[in-house]
């Protein structure tokens, strides 16, 4: 059961061949078991989820039409607000915080019949690329428990890979859906900026953040996107542009598919296993009749720098609200203490080191005397990068391909002493966020170069609002590749 | 760095300050490469889409249930949120 | 050689610019749909009852701008003769303070919604009142932009009494705020106050804000310095002092006059001149009637402005701008000129009618209602003005309300005015009838019918009139003789006697004419 796709589960529940209650019961059991031993799941909504499952079964028996995700168990990254349970962002600052409202994406999933069974672990406030920066302990990669699952949507990716749920919501600011998907051997989609509402997503970098699904198949990713995408008047950055139905024609190949490959994607940053998996992937496309063209995107060299400036600047501002005054963790009061001192202590105690680093960096690059040199220039690089992407697509590419990451999952603790080294791993994923383009990571191989079997990901990027076409190209690859549904070794329950 | 920390309302202890300084130096040293990019005449890009803002109609909507602000706050006084005594006038910077 | 002191100052020129914050009376807040306490419907709501996730800065909350607030701002900009930015943006102004939930204020930094405007202040007399004989001054408007207000902090327990902390009420957090910034064009406290009154009147007439002073709907921050011309011919400028958060004309005047007197003395003492980093902020102490230094804030000025990534550009297209422009009501200054020109009112009368938008609306509605009754043009304006300013204002003052809330409708007043014009009501009866028509039980009644029922209508009974005149003349032979021999004023006493006999059924003018006809030959 755990290996069935969301699409299949919904069909089975709708037809009555399986009950939502049975599906949810099993998923909850996994979440409490494997989910906890991987430290992928922070909280399960046992009562709420079973109640909803039973209500769904009752509705179906009454003859009501079930939604497209009826009975599908879903995990939600804990930086996405749910009115049930807590929304901690994996931070001590919000350890006991309960949100009075649901994120729009969550509400849409539930309206489609999906059942949120709990919240998944993440790098604190979505800042990180490994899953090690959670205040509640690191998440482990189900493929190798000594390695990171990637981040920041670490729990969501690990849970889907381990078969706990077929679908989980993550958020992607610089690769936080795609990179863990690659490390865990599953599919991770970052939609076009503005396609999915950010209302209820705890903001990290507002101009870069998007909620995206992590699934085992491209079809499930398309199904999720169809449910959560679309204009939300509660989010001023939500697009009103018409976009094609991502499920329609999913299995239809893209005619004369042209895949652009930037020369920067084959650089020295790539470790051998990533380089060879990427070459294999390109051969697969060629075998499908796709045309592979070389591209030059010079601004990619400065993309990580631009990304860390912009995202940290926005983060330093978005996290200023966490002062312990109106909600969240407030430090124990000291007599005669000023507000300023209390706020500083609350924030220093409540926010983890990576978060503090980014806030400091962000504050610095916006401060008087530096904003022009850093922040403004980073935004100029951003425009250059976007222009280069636009030009590449205009010249005939349907999608642009790169490895998702320069290598497979690294060991837990590998980058402890060197935050910068961690940042450099993001080189392939940040450009799509900077340019607002849809991008997907697909499993494209398993490497044993480092001892254990570790998955690798192929990234495809498409023009803005071409998510449906991106998914079709992804589906093409998936159907032709031998890696369509990877299974990690079975993880013993705790 | 002390100045930045104060602006950010962060107060790392002495043990942390040194390693933080080193980490930040390394990162700032790296991200400074944006200054070397030839971007003369290029306008900074904040919003990837040029769709203008959709403005809301002026219809009052639901509020949080009464007492919510006090209930959420770590310290409250009746319906108010309570904070340490603030000196000076209203509107710190407005 | 002694340093220059106060005796070396030959002359002082006061230089004042102002920043004015106006709370807009949209029904909901600037960036969310929480009800807005600056709107009458939600005024006085219990603390922390007008809050939602956006107001409190909860995780995951997002701002969405209020269209009506943008329109209101454009209206004020147009009234101030500003250019309107067709594409504008929002910026974050970052600082930490307990009344600022997000740790930043959404405002506008480098592309304000309205800019480069001006307003012509009339010349003022020595008491600060408009004087057409004196030259006016053009006041430059640098900008008018939108932002959100912060919450309120209480430093004492609401029941009174000390508190070991500070209390925060976020009802006001997120209220739409229009910030108007002028050039430093004012040269006196009178001018600054006149402008403040004018802006308040404009806002009230446009219907964008109630501008109730006591509720803090309009707050003034003058920036004051002086150019001191020394005896040796040099001109030194004193450092600019910004006085924060004044919410009455009295305190505005007081602060400027205090600084005008203090700054030369301060300069003589410390010789500090205007320059980078010399601007200071002061508060106003109402009790001591002086400005007071405020605590220096460290790092106060690094607001780290950057464009708000949650809010795309606001576009004001041709159609929208045109509809706002077309929908602009006539402004007070234009109305005043029109009343003087078309109705022959004095400036003072016109100003009194324009003091409150409600009174003005009532007045103009009354004029409209007079037209179908056969009274139009200048006569209608004159008549309506008389009634509103006399019968109306007197009662309004007694009750402490506006004329428009006395209970009498413009249509009823028009009826009364028409009857008076026709000579069917004496001026005293007209006033009495006005009073009756304010009473709730008479709402909807026909004024003429009520007048008749109460015996207020002048009965055109010429025979009776002749009889009364003859009787009174007969009873007052000496007075009658005075009138006949030329002392025309003496007829007044006889008029009074006839009026007593006639009651309401005669009007003084007609009686006087009748008596004079009888007593003066030819």
Domain ranges of chain C: 6-315, 332-453, 462-519
pLDDT tens track for A322-357 = 999 999 999 998 988 999 999 999 999 999 999 999
| Region C309-331 average pLDDT | 95
Contact C34 B60 (CB under 8 A): yes
Within 8 A of C67 by CB-CB distance, chain B residues are 55-58
Chain A residue at shortest CA distance from B61: A234
From A349's Cα to the closest Cα of chain B, the distance in A is 9
Within 8 A of C297 by CB-CB distance, chain B residues are 88, 92-93
Which pairing describes strands A167-172 and A73-77: parallel, antiparallel, or unpaired?
parallel
Q: Of all residues in chain A, what percent carry a pLDDT higher than 70?
A: 97
Average pLDDT, chain A: 95
pLDDT tens track for C372-405 = 988 888 999 999 999 999 999 999 989 888 899 9
The answer to whether residue B93 scores a pLDDT higher than 80 is no
Within 8 A of B3 by CB-CB distance, chain A residues are 367
Q: Which letter, b or e, does each residue of A362-395 get, where b requires 16 or more Cβ atoms within 10 Å of its Cβ?
A: bbbbbbeebbeebbbbbbbbbbbbbebbeebbee
pLDDT tens track for A210-227 = 999 999 999 999 999 999
The pLDDT, as a whole number, for residue A2 is 55
C 34-73 residues with CB < 8 A to B: 34-36, 42, 46-53, 56, 64-70
Using the Cβ of A76 and the Cβ atoms of chain C, whether some distance falls under 8 Å is answered with: no
Sheet strands (E) in C396-446: none
- Active site (catalytic) residues of A: 77, 152, 176
Query: C-alpha distances in angstroms, A428 versus A178, A187, A407, A459, C78?
Result: 10, 16, 11, 8, 50
Of B49, B67, B84, the CB nearest to C166: B84
Q: How far apart are CA A270 and CA A277, in angstroms?
A: 11
Using the Cβ of A237 and the Cβ atoms of chain B, whether some distance falls under 8 Å is answered with: yes
Q: What is the token pair recorded at B48?
A: 């990837």
From A381's Cα to the closest Cα of chain C, the distance in A is 17
Instruction: With residue A403 as reference, give the H or E element that holds it.
Output: strand A399-403
Query: C-alpha distances in angstroms, C136 versus A243, C128, C199, C348?
Result: 59, 12, 16, 17
Pick the CATH number of A6-258+396-480 from 1.25.40.10, 3.90.1300.10, 3.30.413.10, 3.40.50.1370: 3.90.1300.10
Q: What is the token pair recorded at A146?
A: 């000594």
The pLDDT, as a whole number, for residue A481 is 84
Of A367, A374, A380, the CB nearest to B7: A367
**Does residue A301 have a cis peptide bond before it, meaning omega lies within 30 degrees of 0?**
no
Within 8 A of A368 by CB-CB distance, chain C residues are 301-302, 304
The domain limits of chain A are 6-258+396-480, 301-378
Chain C residue at shortest CA distance from A236: C64
Within 8 A of C27 by CB-CB distance, chain B residues are 58-60
The pLDDT, as a whole number, for residue A180 is 98
The pLDDT, as a whole number, for residue C300 is 59
The answer to whether residue C1 scores a pLDDT higher than 60 is no
Q: How far apart are CA C306 and CA A486, in angstroms?
A: 45
Sheet strands (E) in C263-345: 280-285, 290-293, 306-307, 314-315
Q: Of all residues in chain A, what percent carry a pLDDT higher than 90?
A: 91
The answer to whether residue A490 scores a pLDDT higher than 60 is no
The domain limits of chain B are 1-39
Using the Cβ of C98 and the Cβ atoms of chain A, whether some distance falls under 8 Å is answered with: yes
Chain C residue at shortest CA distance from A198: C60
| Region B34-48 average pLDDT | 92
Confidence label for B94 from pLDDT (cuts 50, 70 and 90)? very low
Note whether C383 and C416 are within 8 A (CB). no
**Domain C462-519 annotated CATH 1.10.3470:** no
Contact C28 B61 (CB under 8 A): yes
Average pLDDT, chain C: 91
Among A71-85, C231-245, C475-489, top mean pLDDT goes to A71-85
Contact A235 C103 (CB under 8 A): no
Q: What is the token pair recorded at A208?
A: 């870069």
The pLDDT, as a whole number, for residue A491 is 55
Using the Cβ of A338 and the Cβ atoms of chain C, whether some distance falls under 8 Å is answered with: no
Within 8 A of A99 by CB-CB distance, chain C residues are 58-60
Contact C307 B64 (CB under 8 A): no
Which site among B43, B58, B88 would you substitute to test the C interface, given the most C Cβ atoms closer than 10 Å to its Cβ?
A: B58
Using the Cβ of A198 and the Cβ atoms of chain C, whether some distance falls under 8 Å is answered with: yes
Which site among B33, B45, B85 would you substitute to test the A interface, given the most A Cβ atoms closer than 10 Å to its Cβ?
A: B45
A·B CB contacts under 8 A = 171
- Report, in this order, helix, strand and coil percent for chain B, each rounded to 5: 35, 5, 55
The pLDDT, as a whole number, for residue C40 is 93
Contacts of A357 (CB under 8 A, 6+ apart): A419, B20, B23, B24, B27
The answer to whether residue A9 scores a pLDDT higher than 90 is yes
Q: What is the DSSP letter of A410?
A: P
The pLDDT, as a whole number, for residue A486 is 63
The pTM of the full predicted model, rounded to 2 decimals, is 0.91
Using the Cβ of C488 and the Cβ atoms of chain B, whether some distance falls under 8 Å is answered with: no
The answer to whether residue B91 scores a pLDDT higher than 60 is no
pLDDT tens track for C59-95 = 999 999 999 999 999 999 999 999 999 999 999 999 9
C427 CA to centre of own chain: 31
Query: Higher-confidence residue: C134 or B83?
Result: B83
The answer to whether residue A492 scores a pLDDT higher than 90 is no
Within 8 A of B85 by CB-CB distance, chain A residues are 339
C 390-419 residues with CB < 8 A to A: none
């Amino acid at each position: 059961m755990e290996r069935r796709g969301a699409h299949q589960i919904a069909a089975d529940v709708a037809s009555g061949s399986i009950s939502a209650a049975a599906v949810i019961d099993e998923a909850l059991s996994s979440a409490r078991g494997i989910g906890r031993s991987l430290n992928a799941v922070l909280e399960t909504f046992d009562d709420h989820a079973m109640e909803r499952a039973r209500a769904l079964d009752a509705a179906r028996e009454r003859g009501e039409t079930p939604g497209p995700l009826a009975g599908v168990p879903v995990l939600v990254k804990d930086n996405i607000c749910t009115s049930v349970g807590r929304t901690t962002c994996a931070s001590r600052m919000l350890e006991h915080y309960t949100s009075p409202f649901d994120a729009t994406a969550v509400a849409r999933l539930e309206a489609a019949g999906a059942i949120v069974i709990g919240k998944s672990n993440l790098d604190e406030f979505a800042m990180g690329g490994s899953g090690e920066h959670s205040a509640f302990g690191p998440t482990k990669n189900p493929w190798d428990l000594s390695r990171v699952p990637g981040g920041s949507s670490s729990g969501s990716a690990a849970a889907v890979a381990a078969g706990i749920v077929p679908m989980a919501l993550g958020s992607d600011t610089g690769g936080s859906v795609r990179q863990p998907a690659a490390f865990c051997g599953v599919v991770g989609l970052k939609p076009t900026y503005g396609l999915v509402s950010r209302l209820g997503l705890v903001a990290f970098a507002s101009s870069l953040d998007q909620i995206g699904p992590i699934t085992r198949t491209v079809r499930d990713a398309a199904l999720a996107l169809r449910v959560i995408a679309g204009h939300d008047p509660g989010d001023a950055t939500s697009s009103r542009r018409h976009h094609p139905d991502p499920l329609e024609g999913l299995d239809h190949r893209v005619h004369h598919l042209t895949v652009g490959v930037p020369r920067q994607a084959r650089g020295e940053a790539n470790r051998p296993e990533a380089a060879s998996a990427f070459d294999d992937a390109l051969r697969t496309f060629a075998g499908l009749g796709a045309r592979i063209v070389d591209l030059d995107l010079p601004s990619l060299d400065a993309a990580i720098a631009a990304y860390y400036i912009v995202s940290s600047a926005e983060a330093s501002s978005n996290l200023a609200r966490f002062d312990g005054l109106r909600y969240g963790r407030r430090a124990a009061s000291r007599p005669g203490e000023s507000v300023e001192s209390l706020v500083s202590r609350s924030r220093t105690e409540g926010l983890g080191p990576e978060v503090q680093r980014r806030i400091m960096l962000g504050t610095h690059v916006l401060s008087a005397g530096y904003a022009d040199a850093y922040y403004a220039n980073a935004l100029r690089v951003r425009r250059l990068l976007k222009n280069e992407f636009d030009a590449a697509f205009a010249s005939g590419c349907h999608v642009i391909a790169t490895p998702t990451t320069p290598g497979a999952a690294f060991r837990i603790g590998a980058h402890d002493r060197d935050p910068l080294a961690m940042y450099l791993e993001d080189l392939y994923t940040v450009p799509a966020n900077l340019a607002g383009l849809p991008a997907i990571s697909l499993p494209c191989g398993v490497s044993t170069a480092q001892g254990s079997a570790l998955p690798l990901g192929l990234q495809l990027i498409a023009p803005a609002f071409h998510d449906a076409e991106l998914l079709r190209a992804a589906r093409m690859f998936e159907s032709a590749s031998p890696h369509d549904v990877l299974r990690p070794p079975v993880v013993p329950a705790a | 760095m002390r100045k930045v920390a104060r602006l950010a309302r962060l107060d790392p202890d002495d043990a942390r300050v040194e390693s933080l300084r080193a980490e930040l130096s390394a990162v700032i040293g790296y991200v400074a490469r944006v200054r070397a990019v030839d971007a003369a005449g290029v306008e900074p890009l904040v919003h990837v889409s040029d769709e203008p803002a959709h403005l809301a109609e002026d219809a009052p909507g639901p509020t949080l249930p009464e007492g919510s602000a006090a209930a959420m706050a770590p310290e409250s006084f009746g319906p108010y949120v309570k904070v340490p005594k603030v000196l000076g006038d209203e509107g710190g910077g407005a | 050689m002694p340093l220059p002191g106060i005796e070396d100052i030959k002359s002082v020129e006061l230089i004042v610019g102002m920043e004015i914050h106006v709370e807009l009376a949209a029904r909901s807040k600037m960036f969310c749909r929480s009800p807005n306490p600056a709107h009458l419907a939600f005024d006085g709501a219990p603390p922390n009852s007008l809050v939602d996730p956006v107001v409190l800065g909860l995780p995951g909350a997002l701002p969405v701008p209020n269209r009506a607030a943008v329109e209101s701002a454009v209206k004020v900009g147009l009234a101030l003769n500003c250019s309107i930015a067709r594409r504008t943006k929002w910026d974050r102004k970052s600082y930490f303070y307990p009344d600022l939930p997000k740790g930043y204020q959404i405002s506008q930094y480098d592309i304000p919604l309205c800019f480069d405007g001006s307003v012509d202040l009339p010349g003022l007399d020595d008491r600060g009142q408009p004087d057409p004989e004196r030259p006016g001054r053009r006041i430059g408007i640098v900008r008018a932009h939108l932002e959100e207000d912060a919450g309120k902090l209480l430093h004492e327990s609401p029941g009174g009494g000390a508190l070991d902390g500070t209390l925060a009420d976020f009802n006001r957090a997120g209220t739409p705020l229009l910030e108007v910034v002028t050039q430093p064009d004012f040269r006196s406290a009178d001018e600054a106050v006149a402008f403040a009154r004018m802006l308040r009147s404009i806002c009230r007439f446009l219907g964008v804000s109630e501008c109730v002073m006591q509720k803090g709907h309009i707050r003034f921050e003058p920036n004051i310095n002086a150019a001191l011309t020394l005896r040796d011919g040099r001109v030194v400028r004193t450092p600019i002092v910004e006085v924060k958060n004044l919410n009455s004309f009295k305190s505005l005047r007081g602060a400027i006059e205090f600084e005008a007197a203090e700054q030369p003395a301060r300069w003589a003492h410390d010789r500090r001149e205007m320059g980078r980093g010399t601007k200071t902020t002061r508060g106003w102490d109402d009790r001591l009637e002086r400005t007071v230094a405020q605590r220096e804030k460290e790092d106060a000025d690094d607001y780290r402005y950057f464009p708000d990534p949650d809010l795309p550009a606001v576009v004001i297209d041709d159609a929208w701008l045109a509809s706002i422009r077309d929908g602009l009501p006539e402004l007070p200054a234009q109305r005043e000129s029109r009343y003087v020109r078309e109705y022959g009112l004095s400036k003072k009368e016109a100003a009194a009618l324009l003091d409150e938008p409600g009174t003005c609306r009532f007045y103009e509605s009354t004029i409209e209602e007079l037209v179908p009754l056969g009274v139009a043009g200048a006569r209608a304006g004159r008549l309506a003005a008389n009634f509103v300013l006399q019968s109306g204002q007197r009662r309004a003052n007694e009750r402490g309300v506006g004329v428009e809330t006395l209970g009498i409708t413009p249509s009823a007043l028009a009826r009364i005015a028409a009857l008076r014009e026709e000579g069917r009501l004496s001026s005293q009866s007209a006033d009495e009838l006005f009073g009756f028509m304010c009473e709730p039980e008479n709402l909807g009644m026909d004024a003429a019918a009520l007048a008749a029922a109460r015996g207020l209508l002048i009965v055109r009974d010429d025979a009776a009139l002749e009889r009364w005149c003859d009787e009174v003349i007969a009873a007052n032979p000496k007075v009658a003789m005075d009138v006949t021999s030329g002392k025309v004023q003496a007829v007044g006493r006889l008029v009074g006697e006839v009026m007593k006999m006639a009651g309401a059924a005669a009007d003084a003018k007609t009686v006087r004419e009748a008596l004079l006809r009888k007593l003066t030959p030819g």
